[in-house]
Every structure is written in structure tokens, then in C-alpha cells.
A and B are shown apart, each in its own frame.
Chain A
Amino acid sequence: MKRIRITTQIIFLLIFIFLFLQTESKGKDTLGYPVKIFLDFDPLVFISTFLSSHHVEVMLYLSIILILITIFFGRVFCGWICPLGTINNLVGNLKSRPSIITRSDLRRFKYYLLIFLLISAILSLNVTGIFDPLSLLIRSFSISIYPAFNYALRTVFDALYSKNIPVVTDISESIYSVLKKGVLSFEQSFYYQSIFTGIIFLIIVGLNLYEKRFWCKYLCPLGALLGLFSGYSIINRSISEGCNECGACSRLCQGGALTDGTSSQWQRSECIYCFDCDDVCHEKAIKFGFKKAGYSSIDLTRRGVTTSILTAFIITPFFRVVPLRSKVFESRLIRPPGALDEKEFLKRCVRCGECMKVCITNGLQPAFLEAGIEGLWTPILIPRTGYCEFRCTLCGQVCPTGAIKRLDISEKTKTKIGVAMIDTGRCLPWCHETQCIVCEEVCPTPEKAIWFEEVTVIDRNRRKLLIKRPKVDIKLCIGCGICEAKCPVRGKPAIYVISTGESRSKENQILFS
């Protein structure tokens, strides 16, 4: 059984990595693979977004399958499928002599976290995505781990290329081109907060060197949710009389279901069915079988539950008394095209990072405080890092909760995410008697949202010049940001996008209509 479990874990991890690598444009309008399928099966995403926004994206109904599997078979997802679980398992194996004594009190923390997250969601504050293991994994990989991995490999290959060593460089270049087709990203991506996100992820994974599956046992809210559903599981663990209470099984219990050093206290909600214990038992006293047992409850303290609920009630107002929740609009809070109105967006976004991974220009970046603390790690467009490609619709295709709507090309090209403004104190034609209009050249709107006036100016040498001065037609501009991205005035550009005029907001507008 253990061997089958390991095989399944590896298969699902490989599928996860494959789909992650496919979350990248190949130039076509669609991706061709169901890259967000792991999130579609995630019941925590399903339940939390339903509680906060009262809406469920169709694909998320797949998570009911996982709930049913858990009701019948317990937390097999954790032990057999979850890619973060597998990573925790693998790293935990690096520890030479695992002798774990699971702390039964700490096991409760993940339930308290879950309660906090669900109650907050009911109060419309949805920060589940920060702690959901699949969101966490995809986000960490997208923003930090994968870009760093790319950077490391590219540096090595580029160094060999530039040194141009006779036989070696040819070999490295052929290996490089194979890797570029399979494993490396098309271009190197750069993300804000990549160190921050990466360190958090490495700590979570690093905790396995202290105690195997630390995250799964003590922290994971999805594990807690599945634990709640596992009360009636039909797979049960039984001990025969041969048990001599040596405690070998409890020392390597991955889920932390055995805590008192013996085999008698098996907490079903913690068991992840890894089948390590029946393998290790010298007396062959452990058996897993199908037997309908009674409901196995979870042992939480009343104080803990109350604290969790109260924390949700107390924290939520604190998050909400920021000017962003009144009539102040942050002009650099530019959301992806198809994003819902900000209040609705924040209820649905699970900060999974799929949109940031797929964004073909690397323009979508994780917010820090631009959208308030509540908006941490939600996607914002930073045109200088990447503009929004006019005919691309990928972000809406990969969003699991519909925080970013799926748009087709004709809808998307009419969706405004902001408007461009020219800083005439920096613009070359406006201020420096120099010809340019690169912004007008690259503006993708068919009727050109940037036009120009021809003006005769006199430069300091008394020469007459006919200069074309760009102007933005704010009725036509969709705020895609290519003008800002390509403006030759580096650093602080002479044309920049502000969020005003975005289609999704009724109030964030300038023009009379």
C-alpha cells in the first residue's frame, strides 16, 4: 500500500509541475491545458469564495468530488495527492533519523486558523488564499522559486556561452536549447516581493527538517477542512493484541494521528493514510480495513474556537477602516482586464498567482500595500515591468474564482483598466524640443488613443523645428500601459497609466457620460 501511495504522490507531483510549466503562452489565444485544475478541486477555495462572495465558479464544483472522497476515505488527498504534501514528505525524509513526537495541542492550531478564515469570509474578508496550500504553492513557485531557478540556470549557460570554449560551449548550448523547450520559461521573469515570498516558502518547507510534515500537521487549513469531513471515513485502523506498545508507529506517523507513544489513540481526522505505520510494525499488529465506525470527533478547546471566531470579528473592521474602502482611489492600483469591482475582487481573489505566472509580459505583480493589507499578493499591473498585451486574454482564463472574468478578444480590447496621462514636464517633444512619439507608434487601439499636434518650436540655437507633440484621447485610451512601458524616458516615464476610467468601477471615472 505504501508503495502505491508513493507512486501516486510522485505522479500527482509530476502532473502539478507539468501543468505549472504549461501555464505559459505559446502565442495562441488559449493555453491548451487545464492548468488550474488542482485549484478547481480545492474545497477550501470553493467554500471560502462562496462564503465571502456568494458566487462559485463552475469548475470549482469539482471540489465536491474531493469532499466526497474525504467523507468516504478520510484525508487521502493529503497523503496521496497534495503536491505540497509530497514536497513536505520528500524534504522530511532528508532528516536522518525522524523521531517525531507529534504535539496534540499544536494540531489544533490548523483548525483554529480554518475557523478564523471561514468566519472572516462570512464577514466578507477573504484571506484564505494566503494560507491555502495549493495557492501558496503555486504563488511561491510563480513569483519566487521558478524565476530563481531560471535565473540560476541561465546564468550558468550564458557564462559558458560568453566564454566560448571550443567543445564545451557547443554542448552547453544544445543542452540549453533542450531545457528552453521543456523546463525553462520563455523569458526570465521578475517579481516584486520574490525574496519575501521565497523565504516564507523555504521556511515552511524547511520546517520539515525539524519535524516531517510540520505544515500538514499543524498549519494547513485545507488539511483541517478535510479533517472535519473525515469524521465518517470507512477506512479504519485497528490494532490486534500483538501490539507491544513499542511506539515505533507513532514515531513516524506523518499525519500526527498518534500522539501518546502508543498505538491506541488514533485520531482519524489527522491520519493521512500514508500506510507507513503498518509497514514498520514488527508485530504486524496494525491493520487498515474497511469498517464503518462511529463518528470520530476532533478535539478542540472551546477557548480556542471562541478565540478564532472573535479574532475574525475583531480583525475585519481593522482591515476595513483604510481610506481605500471609502472614496479614495489609488491611482496605481491597476487591476487586470476583466477584474471585478474592487470590493468584489477582494472577496474572490485567492492570491494563487496563476495570473501572474501566465501574464505574457510579466506585467502582473503581487501587490504589497497598494490595495491595503487585505489586498496583499493580489495581482496589479505595473506597466513598467510589463504592459497588458492588447489581444491577450490569458489571465481571465486561469483565474479559478472568477475574480478576473474570462473575456473574449473583442470584449477585452474594449475593457479599460485605466487611462494614460502625459507628464509634459518630462516628455521629449513637450519639454525638450526632441522628436519622439514612440507612445503613439505603439498604441494598439485601432483608432489610436494617442494622437499628436504638430508645433513649431525654436531650440536654443534659434533653429526652427517642427515637433509632433503627443496627446492622449482619454475617451479611447484603455490604459494597457504599452506607452508607459516603451516610453524612452526611463525611470519615471513621461507617460503613465492611472486607474481612473477603469470599466469595472462606477465611481473611478473622470469623464461625463
Chain B
Amino acid sequence: MNRREFLRLMAFTALSTKITSGNSEASRFDLSVVRGSSPGLITRTAIDALGGMRRFISRGDIVVIKPNIAFDRLPEHAATTNPDVVREVVRMCFEAGARKVKVFDRTVNDPRRCYMQSGIYDAARNEGAHVEYIDERRFVEMQINGYALKRWLLYKDVFEADKFINIPIAKHHSLAGLTMSMKNLMGIMGGLRRSIHQRLDESLVDLAGFVKPTLTILDAVRILTANGPQGGDLRDVKVLNTVVAGIDMVAVDSFGATLFGMKGSDLGYVRIADRLGIGTMDLTKLNIKRIEI
């Protein structure tokens, strides 16, 4: 090789390295954990740390956002997703060019009270989202073919959308141990969903393997440490001012468990999902970006 060819080779190598390292910056982190006093700002920062909303939402997308609106509680009871977190996610979806953002949940208590008292109806609507009550006719039987769930009625809108963002809140739950992102998917189930408690861990894993949200944002601004999932006693609420974001629900829930002083492996559904390869439970194997504001 002569000197000109060598220089050309060096230049080419230097340039190509620069290009590839520029791309991998976006997917370097598996989880982002952001702490700060403004729920909206830490949500935005958590998503930006994963590459920004544009990594997930494309122009013209129809997005379904599923917060936890299950209970007739006020935001300070930490039984439903923080409305400021929901608001920020809706806002960021529109900024990324989403055509339509739908927000809904199949509640446990009366839907009108749940939507209104949680503050989510107003927060999402004021940002331009379509906040809708569940329409029983839009449940469609889907073949899940899991270990416990063979087929189940699931809400059509989730599967007709382009993107699906899961926004749970972290809470204590007597049967599940903790309820976070995988359990939050129960809000798209129709039929007699209370019967899945008879095989809860396996059912949640089946559901998680079937419904793969585009993005999961775990609201830990306030967490419910006892008497969940309904709560009601402010003494059971712990303010952590934290938001955890990621694509892998197993990882998110595994990290979420640490907020309660537990491990991911303490939760049956996390263990099983990890074993089946749906996600990674072992936090040491994950790239976690922590930010303090």
C-alpha cells in the first residue's frame, strides 16, 4: 500500500467510527431513572435520556396511552397515575408529530369518578388528547396462546393504534406483591378479568408477551407502600419524585421493586418473564442512566 492509500484508509476508518458511535448514543441505555421535583420535567428528561420521543413516535402516528385510572382516588393518594406525568407524555407525543393521542383505561370503580378525581381526564384533555371511556363493544377476542391465558377479550383500539405507551404507577398489591407495568396491562382486558387472579403471575406474563408496549414510563413520583392497590391513607404514600422509563417491562418492574426495598426476583411475574426471555430482570446486566434534577 502506498502513502496515499494508507491516508485514505485512515480517513475512512475515522469517519465511519464517528458515524456509528453517533447512532449508538440513542440506544445506549436500557432504563432511565430521573429524580426531581417537577413530575413533568422528570418525565421529559427520562424519555429524552432514552433518545427522545421521536425515537418512539413518528409523524402521523395514532398513539394509545394507557395510564392507571383504575380507582376513584385523588392524585395524592397514589392509586392512579400522576396527571402531570400523563400530561407531559401527551404533550411530547404531539411534539413528535402524533396525529391523534387516545387515553383510556378500564377502571375498577365508576369510570366517571375515576377519570375526574384522578385529574387525568382534565390533564390529558387540555393537552388535546382524546380521553374516552371504555366502549364494551370494542373488546375483541384475541388468541394469546400463553401458559394461562389462551384467549381473552382485549381492547381493539390498542392494536389498531400505531404506538402504545404504558404509564403505570408503582404500588403495593397483596396478591401480586407490587403492581407496576406488567400488571397495568390488565386495563385493556375485557370480560371477567378478576378471574385471572387465580393464576395471576402466569397470566400477567402471557399478557406482557402478547402486548408489547412501545414504551413504558413508571410513575414513582408518589408510590403506595401499603394497602394497595386502592390505598386511601396518605400515611401509606411515599413521595419519591422519580420516574423510570424503558422499553423492557421486566426491567422496569425489576427496578421498580427496588424502590420498595424489594428485588425483581421477589415478584413471581418478573421471575417467570425473565425465565421465558420476555425481558431482563438482572439489573446488573442493564445500562441504567440515572439523572438528578
Query: Is B137 touching A162 in the complex (CB atoms < 8 A)?
Result: yes
Query: Is B230 touching A443 in the complex (CB atoms < 8 A)?
Result: yes
Query: Is A27 touching B117 in the complex (CB atoms < 8 A)?
Result: yes
Which residues of chain B in 195-216 are interfacial with respect to chain A, using CB atoms and an 8 Å cutoff?
Answer: 195, 197-200
B117: which of A186, A391, A442, A488 is its contact (CB, 8 Å)? A391
> In whole Å, how far is A104's beta carbon from the nearest beta carbon of chain B?
53
> In whole Å, how far is B290's beta carbon from the nearest beta carbon of chain A?
33
Q: Considering residues A26, A28, A391, A486, which has the most beta carbons from chain B within 10 angstroms of its beta carbon?
A: A391
Query: Is A488 touching B121 in the complex (CB atoms < 8 A)?
Result: no
A444: which of B121, B194, B232 is its contact (CB, 8 Å)? B232
- Stretch from B18-26, B94-102, B104-112, B151-159 forming part of the interface with A: B104-112
Cα-based distance from A25 to B233 in the complex (angstroms):
25
Q: In the complex, which residue of chain A has the Cβ closest to the Cβ of B114?
A: A27
Which residues of chain A in 419-445 are interfacial with respect to chain B, using CB atoms and an 8 Å cutoff?
Answer: 428, 434-438, 440-445
CB-based A-B contact count at 8 angstroms: 86
Query: Is B197 touching A437 in the complex (CB atoms < 8 A)?
Result: yes
Residue B173 at the A interface, CB < 8 A?
A: yes
Query: Is B110 touching A442 in the complex (CB atoms < 8 A)?
Result: no
- Stretch from A262-270, A365-373, A446-454, A500-508 forming part of the interface with B: A446-454
> In whole Å, how far is A355's beta carbon from the nearest beta carbon of chain B?
16
- Count chain A residues whose beta carbon lies closer than 8 angstroms to a beta carbon of B: 33
Query: Is B230 touching A442 in the complex (CB atoms < 8 A)?
Result: yes
Cα-based distance from A361 to B232 in the complex (angstroms):
20
Residue B67 at the A interface, CB < 8 A?
A: no
Cα-based distance from A358 to B227 in the complex (angstroms):
30
Quick one: CB contact mask for B216-240 with A, threshold 8 Å, 1 for yes? 0000000000010111110010000
> In whole Å, how far is B58's beta carbon from the nearest beta carbon of chain A?
27
> In whole Å, how far is B289's beta carbon from the nearest beta carbon of chain A?
34
Which residues from chain A contact B231 at a C-beta distance below 8 Å? 446
Query: Is B175 touching A161 in the complex (CB atoms < 8 A)?
Result: no
A441 and B198 in contact, given A186-B112, A392-B110 (Cβ under 8 angstroms): no
Which residues from chain A contact B232 at a C-beta distance below 8 Å? 390, 444-446
Cα-based distance from A342 to B236 in the complex (angstroms):
37
Residue A389 at the B interface, CB < 8 A?
A: yes
Which residues of chain A in 1-46 are interfacial with respect to chain B, using CB atoms and an 8 Å cutoff?
Answer: 25-28
Which residues of chain B in 59-111 are interfacial with respect to chain A, using CB atoms and an 8 Å cutoff?
Answer: 72-73, 108-110
A437 and B174 in contact, given A389-B110, A448-B227 (Cβ under 8 angstroms): yes
B116: which of A28, A161, A428, A437 is its contact (CB, 8 Å)? A28
17 examples of A-B residue contacts, CB within 8 angstroms = A25-B113, A27-B110, A27-B113, A391-B117, A436-B198, A437-B174, A437-B175, A437-B197, A438-B194, A441-B174, A441-B175, A446-B227, A447-B233, A452-B174, A468-B175, A486-B194, A488-B197
User: A441-B175, A443-B230 given. 7 additional CB < 8 A pairs?
Assistant: A158-B137, A435-B175, A436-B198, A437-B175, A437-B197, A440-B174, A442-B108
Chain A interface residues toward B at CB < 8 A: 25-28, 158, 161-162, 186, 360-361, 389-392, 428, 434-438, 440-448, 452, 468, 486, 488
- In order of increasing CB-CB distance, the 8 nearest A-B pairs are A27-B116, A446-B232, A446-B233, A27-B112, A438-B194, A360-B110, A448-B227, A27-B113
